[in-house]
Homo-oligomer: A and B are copies of this chain.
Amino acid sequence: MKFRLITAFACLAMASANAQQDSLQFRKISDEILLNGTCYENLRVLCKKVGNRLSGTPAAAKAVTWGEKAMKAAGADNVWLQPADVPYWHRGNESLMIRRGDGKYQKVTALSLGNIEGTGGKPLEAAIVMVRSFEEFKTLPDNMVKGKFIFFNYRFRQDFPFTFNGYGDAVKYRWASPSIAAARGAVGVIIRSMSTGADDAPHTGSMHYNDSFAKIPEMALGNYTADSLEHYCMKGKVYAKMQSDCHMTEKLVRSYNVIGEIKGSQYPDRIITVGGHLDSWDVGEGAMDDGAGCVQSIEVLRAFKALGIRPKYTIRAVLFMNEENGLKGGLAYADSAAAKNEYHVLCIETDAGGFTPRGIGMEMSEVKKEKIRNFKNLFLPYGVYDFSQEEGGADIGPLHRKLDVPAAGLMPDSQRYFDLHHTNNDTFENVNHRELKLGAVALTQFIYLISEHELL
């Protein structure tokens, strides 16, 4: 009994010493990144020297070169490119004009949705019929659909405190409405953007055709223009003239994931992957989506190196290619891991914007989650408190599913993300340096913890 008590006290004392040690190391990580972090400057270069970088474009290739250089500058032991063949969607010229009754056509600000087949550059003119939901669309008589533009005027639900819930709810209107409308003979689709913005920025983003139906074009309006069109449609007849060159090219384009690695000191074969995606939509600068995630992932490596922390596990930062319209990078990474029989203990993604972090979501067994949650108080001084959500990421999804790798996702404050994402407003100027850096702090602390305590 006495021995057990002594052991218990010794354990407690050790645990307390460990906790103090962790707390000190967390502070060092935070200080290093907040004071000397290069992620904000890296983001500036990516946004201003490369700019937006849709998969398959020369800008995406330039981003690969940028990523390689940034990984080396961060001090990665090894940096390499992993091939991934990606689709190339071309926007070209596009325009949307609206006419009320017998009035004149007026040009409105609009963006074609990604992957769309446009009008072949020719004007497509038809009456607009507005519905507020798929349910309402079903109630339309055929003559109100055939030969018409359907305006899916579904509003992003602002009542969800966490905006990703609103996005999850609304995104089907972007993704599926062309085929749903084409199935009944509509000639095109106009949607209200998936946007929380109190502004007029249209949001692009992926859509998907069902091959059974005609590939009709789809364009998105910002909230103000959608409000106007709603008003017009309620008052009388409205017509649209749509024109666009958009098309998906047939051949895939060779591109790459950019990978940088610090070799583990004790278990070099155990790999932790941290990543964001390097491609972006072809508007704005891809700053929040997902330049932020790229520079944060690189910052993790830089912080380990700068602090002289040799991690027990191998830490890999991955800039995935083609998250936006194909996920080819994520798939290639998972295939390679499987082919090489790599042992991945954790993959964590940062693709929800460079805002102040609030939590880290996890997709893994409850036993593993609990192991991690035992340490959650360490994160509180940095404002990271929520370890209760089920979150991973798109790019790490294939690895998570194919090899059962525990997945996690950085969860920053979500309020401004859907004001910016997939718009011309997603620029460097809309990223705050401290918020961006704090995200990198949380990622580095989390990865340090998993590796140092061999939690996974």
Q: Which of A137-145, A261-269, A379-387 contacts B (4 or more CB under 8 A)?
A: A379-387
Q: Give A111 to B159 CA distance when docked, in angstroms.
A: 41
Partner of A415, one of B162, B198, B435: B435
Interface string of A131-163 (1 = CB under 8 A from B): 000000000000000000000000000110111
Q: Is the CB of B419 within 8 A of A30?
A: no
Report if A40 contacts B (CB, 8 A).
yes
Q: Digit string of A178-201 for contact with B (CB within 8 Å is 1, else 0)?
A: 000000000000000000101000
Q: A306 at the A/B interface (Cβ < 8 Å)?
A: no
Q: Which residues of B contact A358 (CB under 8 A)?
A: 383
Instruction: Indicate if the CB atoms of B40 and A198 lie closer than 8 Å.
Output: yes
Asked if B383 contacts A161 (CB within 8 A), the reply is yes
B35 close to A158 (CB less than 8 A): yes
- Tell whether A450 is near chain B: CB-to-CB under 8 Å: no
- In the complex, what distance in Å separates the CA atom of A416 from the CA atom of B437? 13
A78 at the interface (CB under 8 A from B): no
User: How far, in angstroms, from A432 to B385 measured CA to CA in the complex?
Assistant: 23
Contact with A356, one of B31, B413, B432, B441 (Cβ below 8 angstroms)? B413
How many copies make up the complex?
Answer: 2
Chain B CB within 8 A of A126 CB: no
The CA-CA distance from A356 to B432 in the complex, in Å, is 14
Query: A433 — which chain B residues lie within 8 A by C-beta?
Result: 198
Question: Would you list which residues of chain A between 400 and 456 have a CB under 8 Å from chain B?
Answer: 413, 415-416, 419, 432-435, 438, 441
Answer whether residue A337 sits at the interface, using C-beta atoms and an 8 A cutoff.
no
Closest to A37 in B: B158
Interface presence of A34 (CB below 8 A): yes
Q: What B residues does A381 contact at CB under 8 A?
A: 161
- Give the contacting residue for A438; candidates B31, B35, B161; CB below 8 A: B161
- Give Cα A34–Cα B161 distance, bound, in whole angstroms: 8
CB-nearest residue of chain B to A413: B356
Among B34, B158, B434, B438, point to the contact of A434 (Cβ < 8 A). B158
Partner of A34, one of B34, B159, B198: B159
- Which residues of the other chain, B, contact A40 by a CB distance below 8 angstroms? 198
Residues of B within 8 A of A413 (CB): 356, 383, 413
Query: How many Å lie between the Cα of A35 and that of B158 in the bound state?
Result: 6
Q: Which of B31, B159, B382, B386 contacts A385 (CB 8 A)?
A: B386
In the complex, what residues of B have CB within 8 A of residue A158's CB? 34-35, 434
The reply to whether B159 and A35 contact each other, CB–CB distance below 8 Å, is: yes
Q: Which residue of B lies closest to A416 (CB)?
A: B432
285-339 of chain A: CB within 8 A of chain B: none
Across the two chains, which residue of chain B brings its CB closest to A388? B380
Residues of B within 8 Å of A31, CB to CB, are 159
Within the assembled complex, what's the spacing in Å between the Cα atoms of A381 and B35?
Answer: 33
A219 → B minimal CB distance (Å): 25
Bound CA span A386–B434, Å? 20
Chain B proximity of A23: nearest CB distance (Å) = 13
Q: Specify which of A196, A415, A419, A433 lies most central, judged by the most chain B CB atoms within 10 Å of its CB.
A: A415
Which B residues are CB-close (under 8 A) to A435?
Answer: 415-416
Q: B438–A415 contact, CB under 8 A?
A: yes
User: Cα distance A416–B434 when bound, in Å?
Assistant: 8
Say whether, besides A158-B34, A158-B35, A159-B31, A415 and B386 are in contact (CB < 8 Å): no
Chain B residues with CB below 8 A from A198, complex form: 40, 433
The minimal Cβ–Cβ distance linking A336 to chain B, given in whole angstroms, is 37
A198 to B159, CA, bound (A): 33
Option from B30, B161, B386 in Cβ contact (under 8 Å) with A30: B161
Q: Which of A351-406 contact B (CB under 8 A)?
A: 356, 358, 381-383, 385-386
Complex Cα–Cα for A31 and B441 (A):
33
Bound-complex Cα distance A438 to B448 (A): 33
0 or 1 for each of A14-58: is its CB under 8 Å from B? (1 = yes): 000000000000000011001100001000000000000000000
Across the A-B interface, give the 3 residue pairs with the lowest CB-CB distance, nearest first: A415-B434, A198-B433, A31-B159
In the assembled complex, 6 residue pairs joining A and B whose CB atoms fall closer than 8 Å, in A order, are: A34-B159, A161-B382, A162-B383, A356-B356, A356-B413, A419-B432
> Known pairs A34-B161, A356-B415. 17 more at Cβ < 8 A?
A30-B161, A31-B159, A34-B159, A35-B159, A40-B198, A158-B434, A161-B381, A161-B382, A161-B441, A163-B434, A356-B413, A358-B383, A385-B386, A413-B413, A415-B432, A416-B432, A419-B432
